[in-house]
Structure 1
Amino acid sequence: TKDTFFPCSYTRVELTDFEGVSLVHFITDNWENIKNFKARPDDILIATHPKAGTTWVSYILDLLYFGNTSPERQTSLPIYLRVPFLEANFPETPSGEDLANKLATTPRIIKTHLPVQLVPKSFWEQNCRVVYVARNAKDSAVSYYHFDRMNMISAEPGDWNTYLQRFMDGKTMFGPWYNHVCGYWEKKQTYPNLHYMFFEDMVEDTGRQLEHLCSFLGLSTSTEERKRITKGVHFDAMKQNKMTNYSAVPVMDFKISPFMRKGKVGDWKNHFTVAQNEQFDKHYKEKMKSTTLQFRTQI
């Protein structure tokens, strides 16, 4: 059965420019409510540019806080109800901020793809903990392309070459990757409650990243517990898990591509031509010249 949480009638939408960021009208229509969202001091915000391991980190945090206390959550509630997507606002469904307001858990774990300058001010005012996950640009572009192909309420992606150009121009949903990853990196320098993680590090050693995360959150979890979580959040396990793989969402066409596709580092090599790679590297160098932020495109 398809999940009633998502609408069954959908059409591709155009992206609109909102304060220099490409968004769909569903989000901007509800902007007042998103902007005025009242964060609480113990809220945890997961922030990412799309396709950087958002669901992965959402599931890790959910297990860390509620894996033992309410195991029925893990089998009955899809991840998007446990960790609401703050700015989501799609037809015939509760909005993300509405779901977040109704969350009964403490802490509330909320996710966003908004660039740092559009995050509701209350998160910073309340000194909330923010977990940011960044993924290298090349794998991000590939993953986002496949996602936009199968997600029927995102803008028409076109072919790979067209899409890559759009990605470089910052004309994909939630704006330029470069500004997004750098914006949160800069914020971290003045806002100590921000934990900056790299997708590549998580793939390389999930257990170690989990340890860093627990330390940031002030959680004392046993080694056994961490091992259990690491096993549960393995990509293949999550891909099979109906509560985390988005398979019940009718706006996503799994015949085109699964929501959780590969979860690997370096898959960009199967997509970029030599010419595309050279052009991308040149553009990247220009865009990233004034930041100390470094990424790995293979491990």
Structure 2
Amino acid sequence: MKPTSRPELFDFEGISMTHYFTDNWEKVKNFQARPDDILIATYPKAGTTWVSYILDLLYFGNDAPERQTSQPIYMRVPFLEACIQGVPSGTELADNLPTSPRLIKTHLPVQLVPKSFWEQNSRVVYVARNAKDNAVSYFHFDRMNMGEPEPGNWNTYLQKFMEGKKVFGPWFDHVNGWWEKKQTYSNLLYMFYEDLAEDTGREVERLCSFLGLSTSVEEREKITKGVQFDAMKQNKMTNYSTVPVMDFKISPFMRKGKVGDWKNHFTVAQNEQFDEVYKQKMKNTTVKFRTEI
């Protein structure tokens, strides 16, 4: 279903949102999580599909090979708050998942996550990506995704990013909110995109130990190979090429997947301004990011 015009941002519970993520809010808020659910949480464009695919392979890679070739990742790992005309809503897809555990993804800031996830003590994997690369990736995504507000040019976009006027709110609050949660909620694994890029095998191992999975070394190596960026970019089931709102002529959904690509976009002045804002917004948190590896 191709939207005719791009959606507008509006304030929703203190967060910038579009109607695609609030239209089904009652059902999202009252969503019934299960103890064995695994919630994959990220700010947009921080490695969501990557980690979703790793988890999908860890749990179901062997049992159901046809699942890997016939079902796109967004059907296997429903996007909880998504509500787009013409396709089943995220809550509906999640409720009807035949798998156990259910893998569910969200971009919600921690305070908006359905309470049942905490009550059921479900496991949560949060992935964070450094702000500069995240901003660049989000910019290119918004250019090609007609379901997103009009991004404008890179400079305007960066200003909006610093002000937190992006769908799902400010990057700063998002990564900090989830970092705080980790201090009090032990079933949360906080991962970094940069670590995944640096040594995918090591991070897959971390995931296995967090989830209590005894996956063989061979199995882990096979998965690590299958989830390399170029393999996923070519894979129709993970590269989102089947989604009509995305215009691949403008930019692919999976563009580069690099750490440090921000250097090709930020001017010296933009970088200085960004560093100032960053210092301000991140002064009370202990979470540390790498902008290159």
Does the 8 Å CA contact 2:81/2:89 hold for their aligned counterparts? yes
Q: 2:75 aligns with which of 70, 77, 81?
A: 81
Does the 8 Å CA contact 1:44/1:110 hold for their aligned counterparts? yes
| 2:15 is the counterpart of 1:21 | yes
How much does 1:10 deviate?
3.6
Amino acid at match of 2:205: E
Cα distance in 2 for partners of 1:62, 1:197 equals 17
Q: Deviations over 1:94-135 (max 9, x none)?
A: 100100000000000000000000000000000000000000
Q: List aligned pairs for 1:86-235, cutoff 5 A.
A: 86-235=80-229
Q: Deviations over 1:197-231 (max 9, x none)?
A: 00000000000000000000000000000000000
Q: Deviations over 1:166-206 (max 9, x none)?
A: 00000000000000000000000000000000000000000
Aligned-residue RMSD, C-alpha: 0.6
1:12 aligned residue: 6
Aligned residue pairs total 293
Runs of 4+ aligned structure 1 residues displaced above 4 Å come to none
- Alignment gaps of 5+ in structure 1: 1-6
Cα distance in 2 for partners of 1:246, 1:27 equals 19
Q: Deviations over 1:142-181 (max 9, x none)?
A: 0000000000010000000000000000000000000000
TM-score scaled by structure 1? 0.97
Amino acid at match of 1:246: Y
Does the 8 Å CA contact 1:52/1:135 hold for their aligned counterparts? yes
1:236 aligned residue: 230
Does the 8 Å CA contact 1:145/1:160 hold for their aligned counterparts? yes
1:258 aligned residue: 252
Cα distance in 1 for partners of 2:142, 2:136 equals 10
| 2:95 is the counterpart of 1:68 | no
| 2:288 is the counterpart of 1:294 | yes
Does the 8 Å CA contact 1:8/1:251 hold for their aligned counterparts? yes
Amino acid at match of 1:118: L
Does the 8 Å CA contact 1:45/1:130 hold for their aligned counterparts? yes
Q: Deviations over 1:64-105 (max 9, x none)?
A: 000001111000000000000000001111100100000000
Aligned to 1:259, the other structure's residue is in SS state coil
- Alignment gaps of 5+ in structure 2: none
Does the 8 Å CA contact 1:47/1:112 hold for their aligned counterparts? yes
Amino acid at match of 1:216: F
How much does 1:26 deviate?
2.5
Does the 8 Å CA contact 1:10/1:153 hold for their aligned counterparts? no
Amino acid at match of 2:282: M
How much does 1:298 deviate?
0.2
2:264 aligned residue: 270
| 2:38 is the counterpart of 1:44 | yes
Aligned to 1:29, the other structure's residue is in SS state coil
Cα distance in 1 for partners of 2:27, 2:202 equals 38
1:283 aligned residue: 277
Cα pair distance change 1:29/1:285, threshold 3 Å: same
Does the 8 Å CA contact 2:3/2:147 hold for their aligned counterparts? no
Cα pair distance change 1:41/1:164, threshold 3 Å: same
Cα pair distance change 1:240/1:100, threshold 3 Å: same
Amino acid at match of 2:194: E
Cα distance in 2 for partners of 1:13, 1:84 equals 21
